[in-house]
Amino acid sequence: MRSAIYAAALLLTACGGQSQGENVADRLDEAADQSTPEAANVLEDAADRVETANGHEANLIAEQALNQAANAQALPAGNAQ
């Protein structure tokens, strides 16, 4: 599952008809679908925030969320910080 989070990080620069913030939000949502509930909450919250962010801000939010999600997945249930 941790690999899903890192895979999402690699896809942050995906392009298409959407804005970069929307693309990043989609990747975070996809990673959330493959994560533990604790990590998914972090990623889904970040996806909501990143949709309207500019490119640089979107990447910063995503990077922080991916780190927080990895930490949330690594902690035993009930020990989230």
Q: How confident is the model at residue 76 (pLDDT cuts 50, 70, 90)?
A: low
Q: What is the pLDDT of residue 75?
A: 74
Residue 13: C-alpha distances to residues 29, 34, 80 (Å):
15, 20, 29
Q: What is the pLDDT of residue 15?
A: 47
Arithmetic mean of pLDDT over the chain: 82
Q: What is the pLDDT of residue 67?
A: 95
User: For the whole prediction, is pTM greater than 0.75?
Assistant: no
Higher-confidence position of 6 and 39: 39
| Angstrom distance (rounded) from CA 48 to CA 53 | 10
Q: How many percent of the chain have pLDDT more than 90?
A: 56
Instruction: Say if residues 18 and 26 touch (Cβ distance below 8 Å).
Output: yes
Domain limits of the chain? 2-74
